[in-house]
Structure 1
Amino acid sequence: MKCHVLAVGQRLPDWAEAACADYLKRFPPEARVVVRTVKAETRADGRSAEAAMAAEAERLRAACPKGAHVVALDERGERCTTAELAQRWARWQRLGSDVALLIGGADGLDPALRAQAHERLRLSDLTLPHALARVLLLEQLYRVWSIHAGHPYHRA
């Protein structure tokens, strides 16, 4: 299984870029995590949030690997502990397909894309800045890998 983190956004601040790069290099080849950023839609010229989210959704769909199990990260998604995420990771591995975790833009994910996802998860009950959400997701994915690998990073 390859895990794809597909995020709407611009360039991350240096601190977030460094943190993401650090977590990504920790994964072994058999637990590859790939991050791909798609262009955020501007709201210039009176463009509505709905139109912007729809355009971003098309970019996310295009970036999503064919046949992937799609997980939308959304504030209305299911709450999930790290242990529960580790159980989901194991289930995703058994599916035999890639997994795509979607992070929306400033206005969130397009409702139609969110509804089409196989699962909807929330990272936190708190509102997180986009860069911090990406770092948090990668840290949790690394922690989940460490749980399954028996690596000492996770101490429960």
Structure 2
Amino acid sequence: MKVHLIAVGKKMPEWINTGYVEFSKRMPPELQINLIEITPSTRNKSTPIENNIKEEGERIQSAIPTNSKLIVLDEKGKIFSSIDLSRKIEGWLPMGQDIALVIGGADGIDPEIKQKADEKWSLSSFTLPHALVRVVVAEQLYRA
């Protein structure tokens, strides 16, 4: 099974890249992780935020592999413990279906992507920097 971590944002700080790579290397053969970086929309005062979200949503949609289970990280999503996540992944492994796990941009995720999601997850009731979420997700998948 492969988890496609689709994340809006490029040019992450080196410590983020180091942390992500470290956990991705530790993944077991039956659960691989693949980072797909989405270029964020150019932000300026004259462009409505909704336009940026829509543009990023189109890029996200085109990056979702066919027949993948779509999971969106959202502040209103379900919070799992590490044990709950481990059980969920154990249940998915025999099915062999890939997972597309989406981390939105600074302005959020296009509502159309959220609507298409099979599940919505939240990592925490804290607000986390988007860059850090990559490392946290990779670590939790490794731990699971």
Q: Answer yes or no: same fold by TM over 0.5.
A: yes
Q: Distance in 2 between matches of 1:123 and 1:108?
A: 15
User: 1:92 deviation in Å?
Assistant: 2.5
Q: Paired residue for 2:5? A: 5
TM-score with structure 2 length normalisation? 0.95
Q: Give a deviation string over 1:78-121, Cα, whole Å, max 9, x none.
A: 11111111122123224331101000000111111111100000
Q: Paired residue for 2:56? A: 56
Q: Which runs of 5+ in 2 are unaligned?
A: none
Q: Paired residue for 2:95? A: 95
User: 1:48 deviation in Å?
Assistant: 1.4
SS of 1:46 mapped into structure 2: coil
User: 1:76 deviation in Å?
Assistant: 0.8
Identity of aligned residues (%): 39
Structure with bigger helix share is: 1
| Aligned partner letter, 1:96 | G
SS of 2:30 mapped into structure 1: helix
Q: Distance in 2 between matches of 1:71 and 1:119?
A: 5
My pick for the range that moved more, 98-107 or 79-88, is 79-88
| Aligned partner letter, 1:76 | K
Q: How does 1:27-38 map to 2 (within 5 A)?
A: 27-38=27-38
TM-score with structure 1 length normalisation? 0.88
Q: Distance in 2 between matches of 1:105 and 1:67?
A: 23
For the 8 Å contact 1:73–1:120, the answer to whether it is kept is: yes
For the 8 Å contact 1:92–1:99, the answer to whether it is kept is: no
Q: Which runs of 5+ in 1 are unaligned?
A: 145-156
RMSD: 1.2
Structure with bigger strand share is: 2
| Aligned partner letter, 1:95 | M
Q: Distance in 1 between matches of 2:20 and 2:61?
A: 23
Q: Paired residue for 2:111? A: 111
Q: Distance in 2 between matches of 1:32 and 1:96?
A: 12
